[in-house]
Amino acid sequence: MEAHETSEMIEETEAKSGKNRTALTISILAMALAIASLGGSNAAKEITQENILAANSYAFYQAKSIRQTSLKIAATDLELQLLSAPDMPTVAKEAMQKKIEDYKKTIERYESEPETKEGKKELLVVAKEHEAVRNHAMRQDPWFDYAEGALQIAIVLLSVAIVAGLPALFWAGAALGAVGSLCAANGFFLFF
């Protein structure tokens, strides 16, 4: 074997090794892209779901407030009727007084109902919890978008590096892939 042939074999081996390294990098970044895409999809679903649950809790809270206000008005009306008709029969007074007491108990139950967690106080806590989860997912979501964009561009650069044989494109793609992977990790853990 001549020196010229040996030199050609070494160059072919180095080129093949570089292409293999680039192909492996593309595979790793494609996996990172799939994970980032999954994280972004889950964050978007969680935003929607938690927003709906928070809105439902606030709507239930509002319905309880409206019912509570209606009962307060009804109880006040009955109390005024009692005061305005002192000569009312005792049976009617007792029936009205019982109804006022029932209204007041229901008003208190609407305010707080720890056993069913359907009082206004409990509903407000639940709504705030759903908002907190939604807001967390909203902070995660853009990072997954950044990750997906960076990883897709990195994969394109690395693919072109294989065809063109330009090491600069490999390093640019690898660097952008690292940035994309860091963005994906931040999407999951919110380091910053």
Residue 92 lies in a domain: yes
> Cβ atoms within 10 A of the Cβ of 43, count?
22
Residue pLDDT, tens place only, 72-95: 999 999 999 999 998 999 999 999
CA distances from 16 to 119, 162, 169, 187 (A): 70, 10, 16, 35
Number of domains composing the chain: 1
The answer to whether residue 144 is domain-embedded is yes
Does residue 57 belong to any structural domain of this protein? yes
Mean pLDDT along residues 11-18: 63
5 part of a folded domain: no
pLDDT at 13 > cutoff 60? no
Please give the radius of gyration of the chain, using alpha carbons only, rounded to the nearest integer. Answer: 34
pLDDT of residue 3: 56
Q: What is the mean pLDDT of the chain?
A: 93
1 located within any domain: no
Q: Model confidence at 17, in pLDDT bands (50, 70, 90)?
A: confident
Q: CA 33: distance to chain centroid?
A: 20
Look at residue 119 and tell me if it is in a domain. Answer: yes
Instruction: Specify the pTM.
Output: 0.83
Distance of CA 163 to the CA centre of its chain: 40
Q: Does a structural domain hold residue 170? A: yes
- What tens digit of pLDDT does each residue of 105-131 get? 999 999 999 999 999 999 999 999 999
Q: Is the pLDDT of residue 2 over 80?
A: no
Domain that holds residue 100: 20-189
Domain membership flag for residue 15: no
Distance, in Å, from the CA atom of 68 to the CA atom of 81, rounded to the nearest integer, reads 20
- What is the pLDDT at residue 1? 57
